[in-house]
Amino acid sequence: MELNGISAIVTGGASGIGEACARVLAARGAKVVIADLQDEKGNALATKIGGAFAHVDVTNPDDVIAAIELAKEMGPLRALVNSAGVGWATRTIGKDGAYDSAHDLAVFRKVIEINLIGTFNCIRLAATAMSTTEPLESGERGAIVNMASVAAFDGQIGQASYSASKGGVVGMTLPIARDLSASGIRVNTVAPGLIDTPIYGEGEASEQFKANLEKGVLFPKRLGSPEELASMVVELVANSYMNAETVRVDGGIRMPPK
Find the catalytic residue in 99, 162, 200, 241: 162
One-letter identity of residue 170? V
How far is residue 180 from each of residues 82, 96, 123, 140, 151, measured CA to CA in Å?
16, 49, 10, 11, 26
Q: What is the reported pLDDT for 200?
A: 75
pLDDT 10s digit of each residue in the chain, 258 long?
999 999 999 999 999 999 999 999 999 999 999 999 999 999 999 999 999 999 999 999 999 999 999 999 999 999 999 999 999 999 999 999 999 999 999 999 999 999 999 999 999 999 999 999 999 999 999 999 999 999 999 999 999 999 999 999 999 999 999 999 999 999 999 999 999 987 777 788 888 888 888 999 999 999 999 999 999 999 999 999 999 999 999 999 999 998
How far is residue 122 from each of residues 60, 79, 129, 216, measured CA to CA in Å?
9, 12, 11, 34
| Beta strand spans in the chain (E) | 7-11, 31-36, 52-55, 77-82, 142-147, 185-192, 246-249
Alpha-carbon distance of 166 to 191, in angstroms, equals: 9
The dihedral region occupied by 5, where left means phi > 0, alpha psi between -120 and 50, and beta the remainder, is left
Q: Structure pTM?
A: 0.96
Domains of the chain: 7-249 (3.40.50.720)
* Residue 162 known to be catalytic: yes
Return the ∠ at Cα 99 (arms to 95 and 103), rounded to 5°. 70
| Coil, strand or helix at 37 | coil
Q: What is the reported pLDDT for 142?
A: 98
Measured in whole angstroms, the distance separating CA 104 from the mean position of its chain's CA atoms is 25
Q: What is the reported pLDDT for 137?
A: 96
Q: What is the reported pLDDT for 210?
A: 83
